[in-house]
Amino acid sequence: MSRFFLFPFTDFLAAYDRGIGRQGLWAMLWVALACGLTWWVYVPLHELMHAWGCQLAGGTVTRLDIAEGYGGSLLQRVFPYVSVGSDYAGQLSGFDTHGSDFVYAVTVFFPYLLTLLPGVPLLLLVRARRHPSVATLLLLGAALPLAWAPFLSLTGDYYELGSILASRLGESMLGLNTSGWRGDDLFRIAGPLFSGTERMAAADALGIALGLLFGLLLAFVTYALGRRLGRALGLRGEPEWMRG
């Protein structure tokens, strides 16, 4: 069971060893370049996939904010619901799940299909390569933001996924009003706990903490599913220090 929680880190370390090893600063620069370019493409695609997930699950999308720097103006010409500008790099700010938590969960999770494929399998591919090369470095840089996206979103989308589960439990088992638990910005939701300007009920604080815990577990589950898919594709090749 402990390995389940270690795989994201050991896979990264093994891929780092195979990709960069002792090649030094120039190798890290290639990885950083590929990582930055992948992130620039991934952010607007991620936001669009939120919208597509909502629509595929039966919801309605009215507004998707994407920052200018991530191609918001260009995407606005293609997708009628895209608007330029946001407090974030991008945010699905106008959507209707028609009261369905299933539609809500699909909307939030849909972009993380890119973690399942190609994200984690791509990281395993780097780990399995025998000889470092520029191609290996570029693959490593491209894999990192995709494979690690769930963990990078622990206070955002994955908290939101966890809060759906936590709030359903709070409503069905305890009859609590859990509307304030849900959202894609943990710091904004939990702000009253730390600001001192508002009082938060103990049940709300525990519910938010439970949502974060569920989100963390879901992040590991997502990574594990991607890893299983990668191994099904024949991407193994674990180094000696990962065996046993």
**In the prediction, which pLDDT does 195 show?**
55
116, 142, 24, 235 alpha-carbon torsion, rounded to 10°? 40
CA-CA distance, 98 to 104, in Å (whole number)? 9
Residue 132 resides in a domain: no
Residue 155 resides in a domain: yes
Residue 69 resides in a domain: no
- From first to last of its 244 residues, the chain has per-residue pLDDT tens of 668 899 999 999 888 887 776 677 888 899 999 999 999 999 999 999 999 999 999 999 999 999 999 999 999 999 999 999 777 788 999 999 999 999 999 999 999 999 999 999 999 999 887 777 888 889 999 999 999 999 999 999 999 999 999 999 998 877 777 778 899 999 988 876 655 555 557 788 889 999 999 999 999 999 999 999 999 998 875 554 455 4
**In the prediction, which pLDDT does 237 show?**
55
Question: Smallest Cα–Cα separation from 193: which of 175, 178, 209?
Answer: 209
Domain count, the chain: 1
> Which helix (DSSP H) or strand (DSSP E) does residue 64 occupy?
strand 60-66
**In the prediction, which pLDDT does 81 show?**
95
Residue 34 resides in a domain: no
CA-CA distance, 149 to 181, in Å (whole number)? 22
CA atoms within 13 A on the CB side of 224: 12
The domain of 197 spans: 41-59+97-121+144-233
Phi, psi of 100 (to 5 degrees): -100, 120
What 3-state DSSP class applies to 120?
helix
**In the prediction, which pLDDT does 27 show?**
85
Residue 159 resides in a domain: yes
Residue 1 resides in a domain: no
- 14, 238 in Cβ contact below 8 A? yes
Residue 82 resides in a domain: no
Q: Can you list the alpha helix ranges (DSSP code H) found in the chain?
A: 2-19, 25-57, 72-78, 101-109, 113-114, 120-128, 134-147, 149-152, 157-174, 186-189, 191-195, 202-232
**In the prediction, which pLDDT does 199 show?**
54
Residue 153 resides in a domain: yes
CA-CA distance, 122 to 116, in Å (whole number)? 10
Give pTM, 2 decimals.
0.90
